[in-house]
C-alpha cells in the first residue's frame, strides 16, 4: 500500500516540474523597431567618424543568421566602436545598416534599423 501514495507523489512532483519548465521556457517575441526618423535626434557631431574597423566574423550560431557589421557610435562625447553581431532573420523585414550623414559642417548618426520590404 505504501507504493501507491509514493507513486502519486512522484507523479504530482513530475507534473509540477513540467509545468514550471513550460512556463520558464516560454517564447518571448520582441516587435521590430518602429519607423525610422531619418537621422539621430541629437545635435550634429563636428568630428567625422573614423574609418570602419575590420572585424573577425566567426561562424553563424545557426543556419540563416546574418552578420550585422559594427559601427562608430557617438557615446560620451566621442566616437566609440560598437562591435558587430549575428542576427536571426525577420521574415518581411530587411536590415538597413547604421551610417553617418554629413550635414552642413557636422555629422548626424542614423542608427541601424529593421525596415519592412
The pLDDT assigned to 11 comes to 73
How much is the pTM? 0.61
pLDDT, position 14:
55
Q: How far apart are CA 94 and CA 96, in angstroms?
A: 7
Quote the pLDDT of residue 82.
Answer: 96
Element (H, E) at 66: strand 66-68
* Domain locations along the chain: 39-116
Q: What's the pLDDT at 42?
A: 63
Among candidate residues 117, 96, 109, 106, the one with its CA nearest the CA of residue 46: 106
Ranges of residues in the chain with a pLDDT under 70 are 1-4, 7-8, 12-42
What's residue 31's pLDDT?
40
Amino acid at each position: 500500500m505504501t507504493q501507491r501514495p509514493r507513486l502519486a507523489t512522484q507523479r504530482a512532483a513530475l507534473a509540477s516540474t513540467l509545468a514550471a519548465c513550460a512556463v520558464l521556457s516560454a517564447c518571448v517575441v520582441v516587435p521590430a523597431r518602429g519607423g525610422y526618423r531619418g537621422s539621430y535626434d541629437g545635435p550634429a557631431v563636428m568630428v567625422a567618424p573614423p574609418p570602419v574597423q575590420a572585424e573577425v566574423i566567426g561562424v553563424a550560431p545557426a543556419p540563416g543568421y546574418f552578420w550585422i557589421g559594427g559601427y562608430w557610435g557617438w557615446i560620451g562625447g566621442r566616437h566609440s566602436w560598437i562591435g558587430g553581431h549575428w542576427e536571426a532573420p525577420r521574415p518581411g523585414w530587411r536590415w538597413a545598416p547604421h551610417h553617418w550623414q554629413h550635414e552642413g559642417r557636422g555629422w548626424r548618426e542614423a542608427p541601424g534599423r529593421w525596415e519592412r520590404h
